């Protein structure tokens, strides 16, 4: 179960990172993110998308560490705590996406966030 959760989470995180990079460089995908108000994101939200890429990278590293595939491994308390923080973070993202005024964001990003929360939960409980 841990391996499936880890690989599924990594694929989703990678896809989200690519999506955020596309938003940051001006692709017209804004209806799927950040409340869906803008087709092409304004400057501040583009920077926020870049920051999201960094957060998603940390999430991927924590997922790999929690699964015991990269240093410092799955046992350090800080890794376990951060992994649970990401579980909650993606759970909160589910609620935020459900509350979005954008139909596209609700339809696409809510399930993605739910799956990521489930992947982190699966790795944490394994």
Name the percent of the chain lying above pLDDT 70.
Answer: 100
pLDDT digits (tens, 9 = 90+) for 61-90: 999 999 999 999 888 999 999 999 999 999
Dihedral Cα 56, 95, 99, 96, nearest 10 deg? -30
The per-residue pLDDT for 73 is 87
CB atoms inside a 10 Å sphere around CB 103 = 10
Ordered by start, the domain boundaries in the chain are 2-125
Question: How many Å apart are CA 59 and CA 53, to the nearest integer?
Answer: 10
Maximum distance among all alpha carbons in the chain? 43
Taking 90 as the threshold, does the pLDDT of residue 124 lie above it? yes
Quote the pTM value.
0.95
Question: How many Å apart are CA 120 and CA 85, to the nearest integer?
Answer: 9
């Amino acid at each position: 179960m841990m391996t499936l959760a880890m690989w599924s989470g990594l694929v989703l995180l990678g896809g989200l990172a690519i999506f955020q990079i596309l938003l940051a460089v001006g692709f017209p995908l804004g209806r799927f993110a950040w409340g869906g108000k803008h087709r092409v994101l304004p400057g501040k939200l583009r920077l926020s998308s870049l920051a999201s890429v960094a957060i998603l990278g940390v999430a991927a590293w924590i997922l790999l560490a929690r699964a015991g595939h990269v240093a410092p491994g799955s046992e350090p308390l800080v890794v376990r705590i951060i992994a649970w923080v990401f579980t909650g973070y993606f759970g909160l993202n589910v609620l935020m996406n459900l509350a979005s005024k954008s139909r596209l964001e609700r339809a696409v990003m809510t399930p993605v966030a739910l799956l990521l929360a489930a992947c982190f939960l699966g790795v944490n409980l394994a």
